[in-house]
Amino acid sequence: MQDFKFNIYDLSSFTHWVDVSLYSYCTPFWAMMWEMIIIGVAMLLFYAVIGLFLVYAERKVCAFMQNRIGPNRVGPYGFIQTVADLVKLLMKELVIIRKSDKFLFYLAPFIVIIVNFMTMAAIPFAKGIHAIDFNIGVLYIMAISSMGVIGVLIAGWSSNNKFSMIGAMRSGAQIVSYELSVGFSLITMCVLAGSMQLSTIVEGQSECWYIFQGHIPAIIAFVIFLIAGTAETNRGPFDLAEAESELTAGYHTEYSGISFAFFYLAEYINMFIIASIAATVFWGGWMPFHISGLAGFNNIMDFIPPFIWYIGKTFVIIWIMMWFKWTFPRLRIDQLLTLEWKYLLPINLVNIILMALIVLMGWHF
Amino acid sequence: MIFLFYLLSGVALLSALMVVFSRSPINSVIHLIICFLAIAGHYILLNAQFLAVVHIIVYTGAIMVLFLFVIMLLNLNKENEPHKKLYTKLAAIISGGMLLLVLTGAVKSVALIPFNEKFDSQIGLVGNFGKILFNEFMLPFEASSVLFLSAIIGAMILGKKEKITNNE
């Protein structure tokens, strides 16, 4: 029964077959190159599809929260509205600003996009669909996602605009402080998992998800991760960096056309990444919902493909994050920093000790 | 692999030179970020993945962002380098040359290990790293953490608002 569980939708045999056949046809160097190209193209397609879908989903969720209809003209239920938006943005003029640092100005959106891609490489999408499985996967994601702020800072500075500058400054202060909470809440879960490798973390949840295994400290860590993760994507009640009522559009005020679209897309992909990390570390990633002891129930759950589980959990968390954004008013900068340094960080530090105690005493499930 | 080593070394050296030679401080910081990323790549080539990622978190993620932050806040984008006096330049050359001398002396005594493709994959992992840090190097580790704590307290005292005394 146990080995039947994973075989049915196991894609690792397929990826292994691709790997072996590539290495048998080409020299190792070219085989590696082809693998990189295949993974890159697949990621690019996934990126575009998820980005377009999330923009549509955000508009529909926003409309639902505000008792409106939302986009409903282009395609059925306005489903291809974002494609039309993309075409519009592609045809718009790229405005060149006098007295701005042009090289850095055009580099900034690409830094944000590259950081997004590097983070997505370490996320396990399904069994066997996992570009790189680092043994420090969680730490790697934290490290790379902290570099996105460099793109934002450069964008704000090179625009030669005071609004952009203030937005970038706020974003810098916000991300540098909320990074700590994201890191500490993930480390709390690493203590429980005993590993930083994302594949091991997912395998460890085959009996029971970590949020249930670690009960109290895991739930505290999950709530802190959701708050800090939302802050790190510059979204929701924490969108001080682009507060449109005060700063026009914050750090991307001067961007037009497709370079604006890059920033816009990057925000949604960031949200997707944060949600998928939360789903992987706390809710078991692609692992189906299992209750140890109930073999029949577990088998029914195994018939739902892992990728559906992964996407489903991720979208539930994304929905919660959208719910935040359209429910809470924006925080002031001092409230934002007080929340992080006076509440979240001390709670988090105590939480790590609590989790270590629970793991040492064996009080987890 | 050896090709990657040369590529990363070239990038690191070139960007380090650009840090010194570029006129605008923002460009210097960005080249320093590239330099740090190349050094992180070297750590990965040595299979010290944990060290590489911590290097990226600490230097690129935190310190360089703060550098960018401060430089942008001070608005140092005007390319006016203050002209230094002759004896300042002379002192800089002498101290820099002495550092070079010490570094050459230190590097000369290091035995070079040949580059091997098959390394022990267990070196540099988090578990082993932690065991070494908390067994062999317990004292220096704790001493450096006390040093960091004193730095934090010092920063807090400096940053604290002075109490306004109303004696009148």
Among residues A70, A89, A115, which one ends one of the domains? A70
User: Are A104 and A65 in a shared domain?
Assistant: no
The verdict on residue A84 lying in a domain is no
Sheet strands (E) in chain A? none
Can you give the pLDDT at residue B150? 92
Same domain as A294, residue A189: yes
pLDDT score for A1: 36
B69 near A CB under 8 A: yes
Q: Are residues A201 and A300 in the same domain?
A: yes
Question: What pLDDT, in 10s, does the model give residues A173-183?
Answer: 888 888 888 88
Q: Residue A4: its pLDDT value, please?
A: 44
Last residue of a domain, one of A70, A87, A109: A70
Global confidence as pTM? 0.83
Pairwise CB contact (< 8 Å): B26 & A169: no
Amino acid at residue number A22: L
Mutation target among B24, B65, B79, B156 for the A interface, most CBs of A within 10 A:
B65
Quote the tokens at residue B138: 């317990």
* A64 plus A113 within the same structural domain: no
Whether residue A19 is found in the same domain as residue A144 = no
Q: E strands of chain B, at which residues?
A: none
Provide the pLDDT confidence category of residue A2 given band limits of 50, 70 and 90: very low
Same domain flag for A61 and A128: no
Q: The domain containing residue A45 runs over which residues?
A: 1-70
Residue A87 falls inside a structural domain: no
Residue predicted with more confidence, A224 or B78? A224
| Residue A174 forms part of a structural domain | yes
Find the chain A residues whose C-beta atoms sit closer than 8 A to any C-beta of B. 101, 104, 134-136, 139-140, 142-144, 146-147, 149-150, 153-154, 156-157, 165, 168-169, 172-173, 175-176, 179, 183, 196
Residue of B nearest to A141 (CA): B53
Q: State the pLDDT confidence band at A158, using cuts at 50, 70 and 90.
A: confident
Residues A39 and A121 in one domain: no
CA distance A175 to B65: 10
Q: Exposed (0-12), middle (13-18) or buried (19+): which is A235, by Cβ within 10 Å?
A: buried
Mean of all residue pLDDT scores within chain A: 83
Last residue of a domain, one of A54, A70, A86: A70
Choose the closest CB to B57 out of A101, A143, A154: A143
Total structural domains in chain A?
2
Residue A77 lies in a domain: no
Contacts of B49 in chain A (CB under 8 A): 134-136
pLDDT at A216: 84
Residue A242 lies in a domain: yes
A28 within some domain: yes
Q: Is residue A89 part of a domain?
A: no
pLDDT number for residue B166: 64
Query: pLDDT tens digits for B1-45?
Result: 678 888 888 999 999 998 888 877 888 888 888 899 899 888 888
Measure the CA–CA gap between A92 and B48, rounded to whole angstroms.
Answer: 46
Q: Which of A255-259, A303-307, B118-122, B148-152 has the lowest mean pLDDT?
A: B118-122
Taking residues A24-49, report their average pLDDT.
Answer: 84
Instruction: Give the model confidence (pLDDT) of A278-297 as tens digits.
Output: 988 888 878 777 777 777 77
Based on the fold, state whether residues A347 and A289 are members of the same structural domain. Answer: yes
User: By the CB < 8 Å criterion, does B63 face chain A?
Assistant: no
User: In the numeric block, which tokens belong to residue B4?
Assistant: 């990657």
Closest approach of B164 to chain A, Cα-based (Å): 22
- Name the minimum distance, in Å, from the CA of A157 to any CA of chain B: 7
pLDDT of the residue at B81: 59
- Out of B57, B60, B126, the one facing A142 most closely (by C-beta) is B57
Same domain for A137 and A273, yes or no, is yes
| Closest chain B CA to residue A166 | B73
Q: Please report residues of A whose CB lies closer than 8 A to that of B33.
A: 150
A93 belongs to a structural domain: no
Per-residue pLDDT reduced to its tens digit, B82-109: 667 788 889 999 999 999 999 998 888 7
Q: Are residues A124 and A52 in the same domain?
A: no
User: Do A65 and A137 lie in a common domain?
Assistant: no
Same domain, A60 and A170: no
What pLDDT does residue A75 have? 78
User: Could A139 and B72 be called an inter-chain contact, meaning their C-beta atoms sit closer than 8 Å?
Assistant: no
CA separation for the pair A16, A21 (Å, rounded):
9
Mean pLDDT of A140-169: 84
With H, G, I as helix, E, B as strand and everything else as coil, classify residue A354.
helix
Name the residue in chain A with its Cα closest to that of B44. A134
Give me the pLDDT at residue B168, please: 54
